[in-house]
Structure 1
């Protein structure tokens, strides 16, 4: 019996050890003693058979060679995802916004601005997208507040339908501030448009942090949800929450209760990002790594309790990591791919005609105006490439399999790289991982999930139910 290469990590606050390999297989050992038994090939019975089936052991040189070939094929399939055109295309028709969110990542512009509109005709944008996008793709309309430009959205989709038929889906990311006409709601229903709606989990926090000078943001949010429901669009709405200090202080049960009161069963939560206005306000409404980690653990505990009570509530942000553990081959999250999904899985057309390889790159550009950040620019019917040398360097630096400290991390097969985060926070594409907020966040979530899976608090039945679409 021979041991195949594997990674291991002690699970904090337990005696257990997490092991993984390049096949994307993993297991949880009860103790360091079991780890030593694995290394010395002295495990027996069912545990030995299980680990052998997952590729941690080989019984012969032939099996060891088969493991190496399988690992190579797995990595080839993983890397080849980036050899195709981007499947996520984002467009920013305006940077203007009717909200003044305290943690705005995109450096929003005031409603009165005349300098933050995408002035090119929808047909021109559609032609550029046709040259860039994969055969099947998702069109995500971003902002600012994109619903300030409903006619542009309708016309863009119409032009793309001419070029691409029904080979793409449409998502609008919105805070639901602007009025939506009956015609626009009917169009969304006809086109089966999805909405990614901002809701900060707790009404009082939403009104305070995601405020507007024009209306009470939570009351407007409720009114707009009713309009969407009346237009038979409720099933098309997903919710995104940004966690702030006040939410952490109020506690996760408040989130679940508030969402349940509104009929929200699934929400995608995320920490405050270090872009745009959030780089300043984070000092006032942010939190320490430990505070956020403690909140996440309590939040997951509450989600588990909800499941045990027969309630239907889940957080898609947590589901992302569970999905990567149980189906790593299906990982399509741009920020968790190796190499990075930057320009390979995603592209964004900004309001100024600049094209970026990720949403984070355009956020960083808004605050720095670094001319090297755009990949290209749309001019008339032409795509004018920027100097791509730096972008090639970004992608070549984003293979976590050969990145310092990532290359020995047990979570590496289920993780990826966010080079723009490290560029913004540390000044280079790779970053020093012990100082990386990106690394801290992902490691902490996996530690919590693995601990709860190992303790039997998260069961296979829960995972199947949560990840079911």
Structure 2
């Protein structure tokens, strides 16, 4: 009785602060506040929270520390939440930091899951012109962002290396007066990598991103090319970059196809054998050539979730045996889940990362809100075309309805079901994906593969973090990367 009287006199009547909740099958209830701080409660504890009858001093301290309740009249909890919320959205003031140049649609690979309507190497009419490239550089520097990343895509960008050189040289020259932090990345299959490209990359501090889908047989099946040696050429290119430029100058990315299912351990082992310590277990995207009937029936999201769960179990086991490896997407989620940092990954931002996080300058001068929006246009859907470099400005791209409408309609803080979801602060909005799969920017969340994927990842990470001390320590290390 004395303890209860002391509690009431020192704390006063309680009030709820905004929170969301999700029930677990084992009876626990996940409670999250406005900035994603979370706690698991028992059913009885959640009832006491709902009824504001919190008599356990330890529980009360936790709920106040997590800004789920406050003593009536307290202003500090609200001020702290506001500060954390502003911090999570600080990137919005910078606007567009990533600028993607589609320098050609030509490619000598014929990947079945390709998101781009690629063209054969002889079709030079699908190359970006010097005039378009220079106009795109001007547009990129109109962004107020202090960091500008120029990423070169295709097709295979090494087939139009002259334009890559032109863009990098012009950006470097202009930056002498602009004073931005520049980064250059070539997304290449590396099959055409030569000494001339490496010399240029060395001079201008260019990074490379390539594809590595797993062991030789799987990679070559997913990524066929003349000679059936895509895997061998990719590994040769990776080794050449490492020897000439350093290990950190090349990264690899895989795509999960139907042929990948059941082979997640082989894929992870391949990454380790090639001295990569990060692997992104990425599902195939519903764009471009990947929409062809023989690809469309590859697998559904529930199958990918099983693939991810098995892969994460294996990664945790490897780490417990002293073999460090990180699942990239999980690390990004955990940074949002366990810290107040926002890694800025496009799929995990709200407002969505289209336009305000990245712009795409197509070979023909058209500008798109995202690479996926450009891929839809290759199939005659120009919904996310923001304008054209020949007659529109960066300001026009950023203030037109083609960008503002999907941003407004898909904002998770007000979108139906998203706004009530306990995972909202860790998730993001993807209006391009939902437009492609459901016909509108928001989508139907119970049917959304985007929603199912992220929910499964969140639940897996929370379960392991809350029940496994070794996983908890590992996940904390991942957030510090």
**More off after superposition, 387-396 vs 446-455:** 387-396
**What secondary structure sits across from 1:408 in the alignment?**
coil
Shift in Å at residue 413 of structure 1? 0.9
2:129 corresponding residue in structure 1: 119
TM-score (norm 1): 0.92
1:65-76 equivalences in 2 (<5 Å): 65-76=75-86
Q: What pairs with 1:6-45 in structure 2 (closer than 5 Å)?
A: 6-11=19-24, 13-29=25-41, 31-40=42-51, 41-42=53-54, 44-45=56-57
- Separation in structure 2 between the aligned mates of residue 402 and residue 256 of structure 1, nearest angstrom: 38
* Residue 260 of structure 1 pairs with residue 272 of structure 2: yes
1:373–1:91 Cα change, 3 Å? same
Residue segments in structure 1 that go unaligned for 5+ positions in a row: none
SS at match of 1:438: helix
Q: Which residue of 2 aligns with 1:301?
A: 313
Contact preservation (8 Å) 2:109, 2:223: yes
Alpha-carbon contact 1:272-1:286 (below 8 Å) kept: no
**How far did 1:43 drift?**
5.3
Q: Output aligned runs, 1:320-335, within 5 Å.
A: 320-335=332-347
Q: How does 1:121-160 map to 2 (within 5 A)?
A: 121=131, 122-132=133-143, 134-160=145-171
Alignment of 1:347-362 (within 5 A): 347-362=359-374
Q: Normalised by the size of structure 2, how large is the TM-score?
A: 0.90
Is this contact kept in 2: 1:127–1:381, CA < 8 A? Answer: no
* CA drift at 1:69: 4.1
Equivalent of 1:410 in 422, 432, 445? 422
CA–CA distance in structure 1, aligned partners of residues 289 and 392 of structure 2: 34
The answer to whether the 8 A contact 1:82-1:341 is kept is: no
- The residue that corresponds to 1:167 in the other structure is 181
Asked if structure 2 preserves the Cα contact closer than 8 Å seen for 1:340 and 1:417, the reply is: yes
Aligned equivalents of 2:55, 2:101: Cα separation in 1: 55
Query: In the alignment, is the contact (CA less than 8 A) between 1:93 and 1:149 conserved in 2?
Result: yes
Q: Decide whether aligned partners of structure 1 residues 133 and 144 sit closer, same or farther in structure 2, where only a CA change above 3 A counts.
A: farther
Alignment counterpart, residue 378 of structure 2, candidates 362, 366, 371? 366
Q: Cα deviation per residue 1:391-413 (whole Å; 9 max; x = unaligned)?
A: 22111112101100001000001
Q: Distance in 1 between matches of 2:470 and 2:187?
A: 31
Is the Cα–Cα contact under 8 Å of residues 328 and 414 in structure 1 kept in the other structure? no
Q: Structure 2 CA distance, aligned partners of 1:302 and 1:157?
A: 41
**CA apart distance, 1:467:** 3.5
How big is the shift at 1:124? Answer: 3.3
SS of the equivalent of 1:293 reads: helix
How far did residue 310 of structure 1 move? 0.2
SS in 2 for 1:379: coil
Residues 305 and 325 (structure 1 numbering): CA distance in 2 closer, same or farther, change over 3 Å?
same
1:442 to 449, 454, 457: 454
Cα displacement string for residues 1-38 of structure 1 (whole angstroms, at most 9, x for unaligned residues): 33322111123x53322211113211222x32332233
Alignment check: 8 A CA contact 1:376 1:383 kept: no
Report the CA distance between 1:267 and its aligned residue.
Answer: 2.0
Alignment of 1:214-233 (within 5 A): 214-233=227-246
Deviation string, structure 1 residues 194-246 (Cα, Å, up to 9, x no partner): 21111112322111011112441111112112211221332211111111222
The residue that corresponds to 1:208 in the other structure is: 221
Aligned to 1:193: 206
Q: CA RMSD in A?
A: 2.3
Cα drift, residue 301 of structure 1 = 0.8
Does residue 460 in structure 1 map to residue 472 in structure 2? yes
| In structure 2, C-alpha distance between the alignment counterparts of 1:412 and 1:191, rounded to whole Å | 40
CA distance in 2, matches of 1:464, 1:34: 27
The DSSP-based 3-state class of the residue aligned with 1:402 is: coil
SS in structure 2 at match of 1:367: coil
The structure whose Rg is larger is 2
The structural deviation recorded for 1:344 is 1.1
Shift of 1:139: 1.2
2:422 aligned with 1:429: no
Number of equivalences = 462
Q: Residue 91 of structure 2: which of 77, 81, 94 is its match?
A: 81
CA distance in 2, matches of 1:376, 1:83: 22
